[in-house]
Structure 1
Amino acid sequence: MAESGAVAGVERHGRPRDPENDAAILNAALDLLIERGATGTSIEAVAQRAGVAKLTVYRRWRSKEDLLMAALEHARAPDMDAAPAGQSIDELISSIAELLSRPRFRALMARVIGASVDYPQLVSAYTERYLRPRLDALTETARQAIDAGNFPPHTDPRVIQDILTGSIGFVLLQHEQDVTAAQVEQRLQALLRHIGYQP
């Protein structure tokens, strides 16, 4: 994400950026987003949590929305990227289940979903940069599984996508802290079997 009025690594007033400050600010923003939601998070609170001056935050990010989007990007792990080409449905389900078993990830995604009313631009940006490529990859994986005979021939890959994303959304909105990867995987497999999935 392009920063407002600054070249990468340099603050607006020409001073070198401190990577430790950047990390502290982004981690603080992420923690507060999970704890309080987007509405309850402020630049002032982020600065206080990160142990920096408020001006230090504003030099890097022009608005709270910019900061929260950067924090979401900062939170991404390699295993949260889109499914690689050729990945099977079973492999996809296994990776989704492992991700959904992480309480912090579920809490973060629930906060993103909850921000859709007050911060639609934040959610739209997150959807286009993060969710859309993954949904497209999911649809392609479903199409390959249909071609391979794992589903009835006339199955619509978008139905598979809808079933998986709907179930993922349901898990994200649960408040239990002890959801296991095995439980999520069992649920997703059971749903797909109802529309004729054969591993």
Structure 2
Amino acid sequence: MAGRDTGELKTAGRPRDPEADEAILRAALELFAERGVDGTSIEQIAKRAGVARLTVYRRWSSKEELLVQAIVYGRNAPDLTDEEYDTLPYPEVFARMVGTMTDAIADRRLAPLLAQLIGSTFSHPELFDAFWRASGSKRREGGIRLVRRAIREGMLPPDADPEVIVEIIVGALFYRMLVPPRHDDVLEYVGRVLRQVGFREIPTP
């Protein structure tokens, strides 16, 4: 039968099937965006992924752990390394960061996911905390590192507060993703936000 999983017949120690992993992660991400934490179950995830429940349980110890990995999986933009933040030409680093931001805003599928994730800070704080440890805090530190470099290179005032600037930018981007769609150019919007927080010039690669 198509889609039937026979993982329970595999011998111990056999490598996991990456295609099954991706199918499970995609299903979990879709269901979380549609229904939230309480409306999503392991059974539903397995059914949508086309695998047996046992296949999911063998890979993840809880629904929350699976959802965290699914959310991180959905954020597939590669992170810059600490060395890249400091050594790559600033216009190149800047372009990659802005590209990630514009892609996120333009992808309307992220809005319901973001809404569910924000809502989970109250109903399931452990889910958001785990996601923050796995992905969010690293991206925030990268943004702060980039702002500090902009200050050193004269693109921002010397008394600018890197943490506040990053929070303003992220807040504006979250708002832009969550409000009803607009017709303005996404890249142009990002540029307006950056100018409002004090960028004296927008680097171009």
TM-score range relative to shorter protein: 0.7 to 0.9
Residues 90-113 of structure 1: per-residue CA shift (max 9 Å, x gap): 533343123221112333223211
Residue 12 of structure 2 corresponds to 14
**Alpha-carbon distance change, 40 to 82 in structure 1, aligned in 2, over 3 angstroms:** farther
Give the drift of 1:175. Answer: 4.0
Residue 81 of structure 1 corresponds to 79
Does the 8 Å CA contact 1:103/1:177 hold for their aligned counterparts? Answer: no
Equivalent residue of 1:115, what SS?
helix
Residue 105 of structure 1 corresponds to 110
Residue 140 of structure 1 corresponds to 145
Runs of at least 5 residues in structure 2 that lack an aligned partner in the other structure? 1-7
Does the 8 Å CA contact 1:101/1:181 hold for their aligned counterparts? Answer: yes
Does the 8 Å CA contact 1:93/1:188 hold for their aligned counterparts? Answer: no
Equivalent residue of 1:103, what SS?
coil
**Alpha-carbon distance change, 133 to 45 in structure 1, aligned in 2, over 3 angstroms:** same
**Alpha-carbon distance change, 177 to 113 in structure 1, aligned in 2, over 3 angstroms:** farther
* Selected match of 2:189 from 177, 184, 193: 184
Report the residue type matching 2:200 in the other structure. Q
RMSD: 2.9
Does the 8 Å CA contact 1:25/1:47 hold for their aligned counterparts? Answer: yes
* Selected match of 1:174 from 171, 179, 201: 179
Residue 7 of structure 1 corresponds to none
Residue 36 of structure 2 corresponds to 37
Give the drift of 1:57. Answer: 1.5
Runs of at least 5 residues in structure 1 that lack an aligned partner in the other structure? 1-9
- Percent identity reads 35
Residue 54 of structure 2 corresponds to 55
Residues 145-193 of structure 1: per-residue CA shift (max 9 Å, x gap): 112222222222222112112212212322438675235324423422x
Aligned counterparts of 2:19 and 2:152: Cα–Cα separation in 1? 49
**Alpha-carbon distance change, 178 to 71 in structure 1, aligned in 2, over 3 angstroms:** farther
Does the 8 Å CA contact 1:100/1:184 hold for their aligned counterparts? Answer: no
Aligned counterparts of 2:116 and 2:188: Cα–Cα separation in 1? 22
Aligned counterparts of 1:39 and 1:179: Cα–Cα separation in 2? 35
Residue 24 of structure 2 corresponds to 25
Aligned counterparts of 1:90 and 1:133: Cα–Cα separation in 2? 17
Aligned counterparts of 1:147 and 1:71: Cα–Cα separation in 2? 37
Residue 64 of structure 2 corresponds to 65
**Alpha-carbon distance change, 179 to 30 in structure 1, aligned in 2, over 3 angstroms:** farther
Aligned counterparts of 1:187 and 1:19: Cα–Cα separation in 2? 41
**What count of residue pairs does the alignment treat as equivalent?**
187
Does the 8 Å CA contact 2:72/2:134 hold for their aligned counterparts? Answer: no
